[in-house]
Amino acid sequence: MDEGTTLFSEGLEGLEEQDHDRPTLLEDWNLAQLVAHVNSNARALVNLTNWARTGVESPMYESNDKRARDIDEGAKRSLEFLIEAFHASSTEFSEAIRSLSPEQLDFMVLSARGREIPVSEAVWIRIREIWIHAVDLGVGIGFSRFPTSLLDALMEDVTHSFSVRENPPPVELTATDVSNSWKTARSGTTVIVEGRESDLLAWLVGRSRGEGLKFGPGDGEPPVLPPWL
């Protein structure tokens, strides 16, 4: 998590106010909206630590509509303000989760999607958020910057999320650089996808069109994947 925060901070370096409204790798968000979203995520995860500490229910977000409004309002602030808020909110969550006792870390809370999780899992939520959105900044940070252990964990997370859905896309992925493979479904006409693990992940989470990957059997076309989240 700390390394991801540093990477995201690196991506913010050198940005100027004129970058405020420029596009990111996420089709629907400009730079200010992306940073506002990452800041909102940190504050939402602090809510979960408060829930675990006090036992008083404190959900990540009041509602999806309120979440969206807060991001839009936050994005109206200057880029300088948003960058300062990124550092402050990241530090606040880091300190909040580290302050919990072992017993409190096992306290069950609800994720933004309503899944019951121990509050310790908030760390993984933040890791996932901060690393992938560092790529989304569009400043040259790629999935090749991710350590192998993180790539492995994200591949397991993403393929599992597909596999538990109704009618998951039947894809078998093989990483040619680390000799590992994953499946997104147990049945169906399987598409074989081969390539570097970082390229596989980029395609799975919708950040590439399959550049650097081989699709089979034969020289097949990339299948259309549903959104990861």
Give me the residue spans of the domains in the chain. 2-141, 146-216
What is the Cα–Cα distance from 202 to 5, expressed in whole angstroms?
19
Q: Is the CB of residue 158 less than 8 Å from the CB of residue 205?
A: yes
Q: pLDDT for 149-205, tens place per residue?
A: 999 999 999 999 998 888 888 899 999 999 899 999 877 778 999 999 999 999 999
Gyration radius (Cα) of the chain, Å: 19
Residue showing tokens 């993403």: 158
Average pLDDT over residues 115-143: 97
The CATH code of the domain at 146-216 is: 3.30.1050.20
pTM: 0.93
pLDDT at residue 177 in the model: 95
Band of pLDDT at residue 226, cut at 50, 70 and 90: confident
| Topology (CATH) of 2-141 | Four Helix Bundle (Hemerythrin (Met), subunit A) (1.20.120)
pLDDT at residue 159 in the model: 94
Q: pLDDT for 66-106, tens place per residue?
A: 999 999 999 999 999 999 999 999 999 999 999 999 999 99
Burial of 96 (0-12, 13-18, 19+ CB in 10 A): buried
Give the mean pLDDT of the chain: 94
What is the Cα–Cα distance from 182 to 160, expressed in whole angstroms?
9
Q: Is the CB of residue 147 less than 8 Å from the CB of residue 163?
A: no
